[in-house]
């Protein structure tokens, strides 16, 4: 294990891949890797790219990776996709698109499948980002397919969130836009050579004009791209740099990092308490039996939870109770 | 409170609306409503409609609601949308589309916004569905915009899950299809008059042929619709009925309900344990301070969680420890 973390911190890609697998598996070995490397991370700049399906997020991420490589950065890519164990996780399309980085040791790409993680994306993704960071990647791109609650939470912990939209995606677009409006630091209208790009830009601008913003606060710029042709990518990179350098955004970024840390800590605490409970009660059988009664509507969920909680005492050691 | 639950159980829509608000607020009053009505629910048939943005899910739900009303059913609709407090939750578009049901007391429609719920969608949605059920709605339609982990979890607790797709949605569609393939009981190719419907159907069929399925297991049918013109909606209704009547699916449905109950119980247990911990330690300040150290990379998450857990003792009352 010490050899593994040493190799990881030295930037060895095979050690990194192995460590990521351990962290994804969610066992004690993964926790040990995190313990040993966590405080060595924190210097990478993390860019989250999210948005509607079909927005071309992979191509945008790919294009940004190329630009960062040209600037001498080491780039890590985490592709979070909602596909299941069924698909095996990684997307064939992504793999093909990313193949041109294959021979470049300065780019490390990892696809993560939603269902494979015990604690869900919310736990695994930040841990994987930390490992990439500790291994010396200076830019980390998180790509999320989907617009769900968890995915939003994942990109929210990024330093800059780029939200990708495309012209002409129909009805639900209003909902999506509203949902991601408040987390966007940069808007990207990709495939902007399509009909409807001007209208989409106007809609975005009018939505933004409705949101309340304090004096001096960052106003998300709208960048138009045609990622497949490389158009607008440098403007996107510049918009991200501008956000990174903006003083108000820096403060907000610190708050985001703290909020993400707090969520992560709460999750571990909840898990730890349930584990301890399981050590003093035959918990799984009890839960199964109560869930069965709930499914049959013989029992409501609160009284079921109360039944277990009534048998438990949570106390502080060393007289710290208040 | 007794008056409220009595009126709700009698099917009074105003009592129902009030009860839903209480449940959404997540306080003690909401829990009380659930306690008082939970065992009276369980007879409604719940259909989840999910799929990619732009698939026309609202129109499909609307069309199904009309058909169910014609058959004399009382219909509840829960529209879960990922929009934020910013948008105020409900979608203007939905409201307009649903307006034709406004004067029909046999249809009750409720939009839920993701961010407004303390415990997230995963907690609030089943509770709202239960209330609709207890109030005498015989068919409940859950519509989710988005394809995230939480949204999938929400529809997974439905009795039948219809997954809506549309031809020609571009790159990410493969990922989406893979992610929702295993939860689909019925596939809908909406806007099937568009180019690419045949290809989409072939892709779906070949994806399904790859999945492992035991003898006698339900094979999701593919229904083609043009929901805006009412085409194919009756076929969709029939496909849902066929799934409801299928013996293998019935067994799977029982398992799903138990699994959903178990998730719900675990969530309440975790919450309850943290609450108890908070009663014996100044928890919030401690968490904030530790999260701050984590954000500064002075502290790894596991040692932070351990620090709190080391001060806690979880014991069984009445000598139940093992």
List the single range of B3-17, B190-204, B223-237, B292-306 with lowest mean pLDDT. B190-204
Q: What is the average per-residue pLDDT within B73-89?
A: 63
Q: Give the nearest partner residue to B287 out of A57, A266, A271, using CB atoms.
A: A266
Amino acid A53: pLDDT? 67
pLDDT bin (cut points 50, 70, 90) of residue B320 is very low
Whether residue A152 lies within 8 A of chain B, CB to CB, comes out as yes
- Residue B46 φ then ψ, to 5°: -105, 125
**Is A173 close to B53, i.e. CB distance below 8 A?**
yes
**Is B269 close to A290, i.e. CB distance below 8 A?**
no
pLDDT bin (cut points 50, 70, 90) of residue B38 is very high
**Is B200:B187 a contact under the CB 8 Å cutoff?**
no
Higher pLDDT, A92 or B289: B289
SS3 letters for chain B? CHHHHHHHHCCCHHHHHHHHHHHHHCCHHHHHHHHHHHHHCCCCEEEEEEECCCCCHHHHHHHHHHHHHHCCCCEEEEEEECCCHHHCCCCHHHHHHHHHHCCCCCEEEEEEEHHHCCCCHHHHHHHHHHHHHHCCCCEEEEEECECCHHHHHHHHCCCEEEEEECCCCCCCHHHHHHHHHCCCCEEEECCCCCCCHHHHHHHHHHHHHHCCCCCCCCCCCEEECEHHHCECHHHHHHHHHHHHHCHHHHHHHHHHHHHHHHHHHHHHHHHHHHHHHHHHCCHHHHHHHHHHHHHCCCCCHHHHHHHHHCCEEEEECCCCCC
- pLDDT tens digits, one per residue of B84-108: 333 333 444 444 445 566 667 788 9
Q: How far is B289 from chain A (nearest CA, A)?
A: 9
First CA to last CA across chain A, in angstroms? 41
**Is B311 close to A288, i.e. CB distance below 8 A?**
no
Q: Give the nearest partner residue to A149 out of B121, B280, B321, using CB atoms.
A: B121
**Is B280 close to A316, i.e. CB distance below 8 A?**
yes
The position carrying tokens 């190329």 is A66
> What is residue A188's DSSP assignment?
E
**Is A262 close to B287, i.e. CB distance below 8 A?**
yes
**Substitution target from B302, B306, B308, B321 for chain A, most A beta carbons within 10 A:** B302
- pLDDT tens digits, one per residue of A71-124: 999 999 988 765 433 333 344 444 444 555 666 778 898 877 655 444 566 678
pLDDT bin (cut points 50, 70, 90) of residue A27 is confident
- Asked whether the predicted pLDDT for residue A39 surpasses 80, the reply is yes
Q: Give the nearest partner residue to A148 out of B151, B297, B322, using CB atoms.
A: B151
pLDDT bin (cut points 50, 70, 90) of residue A172 is very low
User: Packing angle between helix A247-280 and helix A283-295, nearest 10 degrees?
Assistant: 100
**Is B114 close to A149, i.e. CB distance below 8 A?**
yes
Q: Which residues of A touch B42 (CB under 8 A)?
A: 296-297
**Is A269 close to B277, i.e. CB distance below 8 A?**
yes
Amino acid A109: pLDDT? 86
- Quickly list H helices, chain A: 2-9, 13-25, 28-37, 57-70, 92-98, 121-134, 149-156, 173-181, 197-210, 233-245, 247-280, 283-295, 301-309
Tell me the three state secondary structure of residue A28.
helix
Amino acid A187: pLDDT? 93
* Percent of chain A residues past pLDDT 70, beyond the cut: 80
> What is residue A57's DSSP assignment?
H
pLDDT bin (cut points 50, 70, 90) of residue A150 is low
- Asked whether the predicted pLDDT for residue B174 surpasses 60, the reply is no
Q: Which residues of A touch B310 (CB under 8 A)?
A: 317
Q: What is each CA distance from B88 to A93, B20, B114, in whole angstroms?
A: 37, 16, 10
**Is A254 close to B295, i.e. CB distance below 8 A?**
yes
Q: Which residues of A touch B114 (CB under 8 A)?
A: 149, 179
Q: Which residues of A touch B290 (CB under 8 A)?
A: 265
Q: How far is A69 from chain B (nearest CA, A)?
A: 25
**Substitution target from B30, B44, B179 for chain A, most A beta carbons within 10 A:** B179
Other residues' Cβ atoms within 10 Å of the Cβ of residue A291 = 23
**Is A161:A155 a contact under the CB 8 Å cutoff?**
yes
Q: Which residues of B touch A271 (CB under 8 A)?
A: 270
Of the candidates B198, B93, B274, B168, the residue with the CA atom closest to the CA atom of residue A273: B274
Q: What is the average per-residue pLDDT within A21-50?
A: 92
**Is B81 close to A175, i.e. CB distance below 8 A?**
yes
Amino acid A120: pLDDT? 60
Q: Which residues of B touch A149 (CB under 8 A)?
A: 82, 114, 120-121, 148-151
Q: Which residues of B touch A321 (CB under 8 A)?
A: 280-281
Interface of B with A in 213-252 (CB under 8 A): none
- pLDDT tens digits, one per residue of A196-247: 899 888 888 887 777 677 778 899 999 999 999 999 999 999 999 999 999 9
- Asked whether the predicted pLDDT for residue B149 surpasses 70, the reply is no
pLDDT bin (cut points 50, 70, 90) of residue B141 is very high
Q: Strands B312-316 and B186-189: what pairing?
A: unpaired
Q: Give the nearest partner residue to A291 out of B59, B265, B317, using CB atoms.
A: B265
Interface of B with A in 113-142 (CB under 8 A): 114, 120-121
**Is A273 close to B268, i.e. CB distance below 8 A?**
no
Q: What is the average per-residue pLDDT within B38-64?
A: 88
- What six digits make up the tokens of A217? 């606060």
**Substitution target from B127, B227, B315, B317 for chain A, most A beta carbons within 10 A:** B315
Amino acid B24: pLDDT? 85
**Is B313 close to A316, i.e. CB distance below 8 A?**
yes
pLDDT bin (cut points 50, 70, 90) of residue A166 is confident
Interface of A with B in 29-88 (CB under 8 A): 31, 34-35, 38-42, 52-59, 81-84, 86-87
- What six digits make up the tokens of B74? 């009382």
Amino acid B88: pLDDT? 33
- pLDDT tens digits, one per residue of A272-281: 898 888 888 8
- The overall average pLDDT reported for chain A is 83
- Asked whether the predicted pLDDT for residue A314 surpasses 80, the reply is yes
Q: How far is A256 from chain B (nearest CA, A)?
A: 9
Of the candidates B187, B178, B127, B114, the residue with the CA atom closest to the CA atom of residue B157: B127
**Is B317 close to A313, i.e. CB distance below 8 A?**
yes
- Asked whether the predicted pLDDT for residue B37 surpasses 90, the reply is yes
- 0.80 exceeded by the pTM? no
Higher pLDDT, B148 or B227: B227
Q: What is the average per-residue pLDDT within B280-294?
A: 91
- The overall average pLDDT reported for chain B is 83
Q: How far is B216 from chain A (nearest CA, A)?
A: 20
Alpha carbons B138 and B299: distance in angstroms, whole number:
53
Of the candidates A144, A154, A142, A119, the residue with the CA atom closest to the CA atom of residue A31: A119
Beta-carbon contacts of B215 under 8 Å, excluding residues fewer than 6 positions away, are none
Amino acid A288: pLDDT? 95
Whether residue A295 lies within 8 A of chain B, CB to CB, comes out as yes
List the single range of A23-32, A84-93, B40-49, B312-321 with lowest mean pLDDT. A84-93
């Amino acid at each position: 294990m010490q050899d593994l973390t040493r190799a990881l911190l030295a930037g060895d890609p095979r050690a990194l891949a192995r460590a990521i697998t351990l962290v994804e598996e969610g066992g004690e070995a993964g926790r040990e890797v995190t313990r040993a490397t966590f405080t060595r991370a924190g210097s990478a700049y993390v860019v989250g790219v999210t948005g509607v399906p079909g927005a071309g997020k992979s191509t945008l991420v790919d294009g940004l990776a190329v630009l960062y490589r040209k600037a001498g950065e080491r780039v890590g890519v985490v592709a979070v996709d909602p596909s299941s164990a069924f698909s095996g996780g990684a997307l064939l399309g992504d793999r093909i698109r990313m193949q041109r980085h294959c021979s470049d040791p300065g780019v490390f790409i990892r696809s993560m499948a939603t269902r494979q993680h015990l604690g869900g994306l919310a736990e695994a993704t930040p841990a994987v980002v930390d490992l990439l960071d500790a291994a010396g990647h200076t830019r980390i791109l998180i790509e999320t397919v989907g617009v769900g609650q968890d995915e939003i939470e994942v990109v929210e912990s990024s330093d800059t969130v780029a939200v990708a939209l495309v012209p002409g995606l129909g009805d639900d677009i209003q909902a999506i836009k509203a949902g991601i409006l408040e987390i966007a630091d940069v808007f990207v209208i990709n495939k902007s050579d399509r009909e409807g790009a001007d209208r989409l830009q106007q809609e975005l601008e009018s939505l933004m004009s409705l949101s309340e913003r304090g004096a001096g606060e960052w106003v998300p710029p709208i960048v138009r791209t045609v990622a497949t042709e490389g158009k607008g990518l440098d403007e996107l990179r510049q918009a991200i740099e501008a956000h990174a350098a903006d003083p108000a955004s820096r403060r907000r970024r610190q708050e985001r990092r703290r909020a993400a840390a707090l969520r992560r800590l709460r999750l571990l605490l909840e898990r730890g308490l349930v584990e301890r409970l399981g050590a003093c009660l035959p918990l799984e059988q009890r839960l199964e039996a109560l869930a069965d009664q709930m499914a049959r509507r013989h029992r409501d969920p609160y009284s079921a939870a109360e039944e277990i909680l009534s048998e438990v005492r949570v106390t502080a050691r060393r007289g710290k109770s208040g």
